Structure 1
């Protein structure tokens, strides 16, 4: 859970077995990938980069027995080891002779290497150091598996959160007390605009006092249903804006709790906010590729999707109305639609908005 995972653990282990350096290779380097390694001890960035860029290919201390601590001298004779290119070019300049390590592989297929190093002035690692590390290997493997799962879930979460942002939907997550836990970028922008929605001391306020009171009742009902583990409750509210712009649409729904959820400050409800005046964010290049349009056609299609009339779009693009109509006929032919409203719906509902 540290900013640099396992850094404290590696330092403590390095001290415990009197090693000069310690490394945890989470992803092995390759021709296409520099890998991912955590290094502790008086290592230099240059040395770490040199291994990831080049010397990994010369490393003979790989393919170790799974989940078993071994030393380099159990793997190679001292003579062969000290004559190897890897030792002469990479380790000798940084005064490393002795290495002890293990290769771990979780049930999810994640392969990790633990390596500990001593200098030429030190003795080789002995049975005591191997025994200490062996006691920890199963726990280290389990923590690596947990970290991998957490990282995967976080990556998936970021994908879905990014998709919601691209769809221009504001998302506000509430805890079991109805306090705001997290907001996405679209919601942040709406809150900063102070036009129909604001956040005060973790509490969301919308529209008029009556609107805010109704939102509180909706959230209260949603949280009650969530606590009773009832089916997902969905409530909706339309909120007017002081600026006179189009009303905001708000949906409140409960967040189903996991079977083994415990503790407080867990997501309990989510508020989705739609701003009808938010322009479509689909990249023009993606629209062009998706529907086989020319740059001019894609520009026109995006302006129409954002609510402009054909005359307004032709003026915006500084082209004649006849040219705009010709582009529109070509767009209809390529997309298979026959009306402008169908074209707008096609673009807004396509995957282009996720590009």
Structure 2
């Protein structure tokens, strides 16, 4: 077992959070590989857009160096860049971010990993979960000015995987795949039936078939599987 894997186990993270962290780590590996490519300017922040999750780069002084397109689409009155600083409207969340960024003052100091996210309330929706990923001096990307990567997770309903992909993955019929796509969002069969303009009985029969083809038995189990696609 690698030291990193032992570190994760020691933190006793929930399974879902471990999966999220593993997925994020894979994206970081992709970014690192791309940033070393001869086809990419070593000072370019374009590889940041590999991350579909909103992401922002901070420098040694806590100033915003760059944000990817996903982050730009989320920036509003609750979270925004003001005078090159990442500004959070909520005072408590803003204070927690400030405590973390203050650790950047000493460039040689090891920055404590951000295990617990900063919860950022929103005026018009569910909160953001803000996480800070330290980038140590010997591995800074895309330049040595980078000190941390900030990611934002906007809570709320998300579209399910494409129906065509679910159909190919689990050998679903086109109608079953459309139903599975809606179920993957967390909607129940009755809601799916209304969206698809089919009867509840038809939706429930299709759901039984989906359970059989995916070797699942409960809706929560099915959703967890579908979201891996």
Range into which the TM-score falls when normalised by the shorter chain: 0.7 to 0.9
Matched residues in 1 for 2:169 and 2:161: separation? 11
**Contact persistence 1:232–1:255 (CA under 8 A):** no
**Contact persistence 1:240–1:248 (CA under 8 A):** yes
| Partner residue in 2 for 1:328 | 207
| Partner residue in 2 for 1:170 | 54
Matched residues in 1 for 2:167 and 2:118: separation? 36
Matched residues in 2 for 1:265 and 1:159: separation? 16
Residue 209 of structure 1 and its aligned partner are, at CA, apart by: 2.6
TM-score (norm 2): 0.72
1:220 to 92, 99, 102: 102
| Partner residue in 1 for 2:16 | none
| Partner residue in 2 for 1:255 | 135
Compared with structure 1, are the counterparts of its residues 159 and 177 closer, same or farther at alpha carbon in structure 2 (3 Å cutoff)? closer
| Partner residue in 1 for 2:158 | 279
TM-score (norm 1): 0.48
Residue 208 of structure 1 and its aligned partner are, at CA, apart by: 1.3
Matched residues in 1 for 2:175 and 2:47: separation? 31
Deviations 1:256-289 (Å, cap 9, x if unpaired)?
2226x79x76221111111121513632222221
Residue 289, structure 1, aligned to residue 168, structure 2: yes
1:303 to 182, 207, 215: 182
CA RMSD of aligned residues (A): 2.8
Matched residues in 1 for 2:109 and 2:177: separation? 47
1:241 to 117, 122, 130: 122
SS at match of 1:270: strand
| Partner residue in 1 for 2:83 | 201
Compared with structure 1, are the counterparts of its residues 292 and 160 closer, same or farther at alpha carbon in structure 2 (3 Å cutoff)? farther
| Partner residue in 2 for 1:346 | 225
**Contact persistence 2:160–2:184 (CA under 8 A):** no
Compared with structure 1, are the counterparts of its residues 239 and 149 closer, same or farther at alpha carbon in structure 2 (3 Å cutoff)? closer
**Contact persistence 1:305–1:347 (CA under 8 A):** yes
Q: Between the two structures, name the one with larger relative contact order (CA 8 Å, sep ≥ 6).
A: 2
SS at match of 2:179: helix
Matched residues in 2 for 1:265 and 1:328: separation? 52
SS at match of 1:319: coil
Gaps of 5+ in 2: 1-35
**Contact persistence 1:180–1:204 (CA under 8 A):** yes
Residue 185 of structure 1 and its aligned partner are, at CA, apart by: 2.1
Gaps of 5+ in 1: 1-147
Matched residues in 2 for 1:206 and 1:341: separation? 34
Compared with structure 1, are the counterparts of its residues 269 and 160 closer, same or farther at alpha carbon in structure 2 (3 Å cutoff)? closer
Compared with structure 1, are the counterparts of its residues 170 and 309 closer, same or farther at alpha carbon in structure 2 (3 Å cutoff)? same
